[in-house]
Amino acid sequence: MASCRFPYQAVIFDMDGVIVDSERFYYDQLDEMYSAEGIFVPREELCRAVGASYKDFKSNLVRWFAMGGVDLSPEEAEARYDAWAAVHPADYAALLNPGVRETVAELKGLGVRVALASSSPMDNIMHVLEVCGLSDAFEHVTSGEQFLESKPNPEIYLHTLDLLGLPATSCCCVEDSVPGIAAGKAAGLTVIAKREDRFGFSQELADAVVDSIADILALSASR
């Protein structure tokens, strides 16, 4: 049963843009990398890629290199990106969104189960959780690389619900991007969006929009 102070039995968190404010970092990282290559990638292109699956991310890398006349295979494009990222690594601990650890701990204290479902590769997820002090925070951790299609395909959420053994109607997810919100809705979840105004996309399909992760604790007043 859900806690009398919280209306859901479980909360499934996205990672990028929700647990860590990484979307802006990745946007700037890609902009800087392609600029260093002498390739101009329009802002609209980079914004549309926010929240994309890693499979789509690799396809975008190839396409954007091609815009500058550089023809690479997906593996070659990924290697170029990995080399750049190794020299310009993300400080995920500094990117941890305010209130995440406290909110997860409070939910668990209320008897609410917490899981994580991210389109990122599992090794990246594990690294982020470790440096942010969240290695043991989530009951289940699911990566988009486990499936043929990640978000906006709902399979990642349907699989996480199976792991939890709970119906979608008893759970909510916390998302930020268009693909993530669409995946949550398609899975039948109540979707809470962390407000994101920097990339020009709409969060109108979400059931609620919060300004901070801690604000999800007030959901009991709205249901």
> Which residues participate in catalysis according to the annotation?
14, 16
Strand order in the sheet with 140-143: 140-143, 113-118, 10-13, 171-175, 190-194, 208-210
Alpha-carbon gap, residue 8 to 136, rounded angstroms: 21
Alpha-carbon gap, residue 129 to 20, rounded angstroms: 9
Helix/strand/coil for 59: helix
In angstroms, the Cα distances linking 34 to 31, 40, 175 are 6, 7, 28
